[in-house]
Amino acid sequence: MSGAGQRRCCAAPHSRDTCQLIYLGQFGRNQISASHSPKVFQLPARSSLLSTATAVPPYVLQQSEVAQTAGEIFGPRFRDFERMSRVFESAGIHQRHAVRPIEWFVEPRSWPDRTAAYLEAATELFVKVARKALDEIGLSAQEIDTVVTISSTGIATPSLEARAASQLGFRSDILRVPVFGLGCAGGVSGLAIASQLAEARPGTKVLVVAVELCTLAFRLDELTKANIVATALFGDGAAACVLTCGEEGFAEVEASGQHTWPDTLDIMGWSVDPQGFGVIFDRSIPPFAEAELRPAVDAILAKNDLSRADVDRFICHPGGTKVMQAIEHALDLEQGALGAERDVLRDYGNMSAPTVLFVLDRLRRLRLPPRSVLTAMGPGFTASCLTLRASA
């Protein structure tokens, strides 16, 4: 594979003798013509990650406390609860964070109640994590040109970055890109979107923020296995990254890609009713991942002239203990290879989109290996991958 900032002309065959490359830079459009000889041309630099940050809300939910409260709520009404309750112990979670104390969840809540909580708390977390990401590299919000917001656990119109703009001090001409519906894949896909936007306008600064308040979807009225599993797994949190193109950071975004499997809409997602969102969480996810993830990842890597042998570290979304075991088997990872993922799951639970960015933040502070691949799966059903090259 060509080095950073260089690519070979046309990996795919063409009928013509020449290949036209268009360079969109800060100083206009230049057309470069090249033969199919093995020449290498300098192309615009890839985007770089300058900073990462994480944030959680103030309320800590101990797993033992959640299990006891769930037993009091569901045990008398749900025949299968005792059998299902073992998931609280096997989930690999010690604690999670929430935007409301546990007492808030034992009262019936309407969609307006949940939405009010989402708008208030998600905006607060957005501001908190964005400031941390900016402060790390000494940037002000005035210097951000594009902001990408990833969130699927609430509906906000105007969206979260608009609600946070006055507190942070964004410019009036900032490009806003709110993205909804990516679920657990949102951290990786959102980072890929931000990377492409940075490369489209070299020299600009792009802030990507993922905020998910999964606990607001806890439901008293849903006597289902999916709701019990969700109650045992999900927490709240936020993560942010700053990217640019043309300036060295701690890692370069080398490539990204997605794979969406057909006829898989019912594997994961939301149902909607007057009480709010209801989780669609199919228990077939671990065996599906074990059977289907490897060819999808291999295909994404192959499009960028890579294979799993070229990857030093897979950075995975820790969706749950069984999902991680399935990923380890699918990608032929050694036992203990996902230690940081298990630590994040233990301390924070599954926070949906931000979770893989919590893992990235933890690993990059220890030192990233030369090449790592972020991967996550989410509604669609979709696998999303992003390749990072660590700076020397």
Q: Answer yes or no: are the C-beta atoms of 149 and 191 closer than 8 Å.
A: no
Spell out where the chain has E strands: 6-8, 18-25, 28-35, 40-42, 47-55, 59-62, 95-98, 146-150, 175-179, 205-213, 236-245, 251-260, 268-273, 276-281, 313-316, 371-378, 382-390
Question: 3-class DSSP state for residue 316?
Answer: strand
Query: What is the Cα–Cα distance from 214 to 212, expressed in whole angstroms?
Result: 6
Catalytic choice (9, 184, 214, 241): 184
Helix axes 160-168, 111-136, angle to 10 degrees: 50
DSSP state string for 60-80: EEEHHHHHHHHHHHHTTT-TT
184 has catalytic annotation: yes
User: How far is C-alpha 347 from the geometric centre of its chain's CA atoms?
Assistant: 17
217: left (phi over 0), alpha (psi -120 to 50) or beta: alpha
Give the span between the Cα atoms of 48 and 162, in whole angstroms.
25
Rounded to 5 degrees, φ, ψ at 199 are: -70, -30
Q: CA-based diameter of the chain, in Å?
A: 75
CA distance 253 to 273: 40
Q: From CA 224, how far away is CA 126, in angstroms rounded?
A: 32
The residue assigned the tokens 């104390």 is 101
The 8-class DSSP code of residue 43 comes to -
Distance CA 63, CA 80 (A): 20
Positions marked catalytic: 184
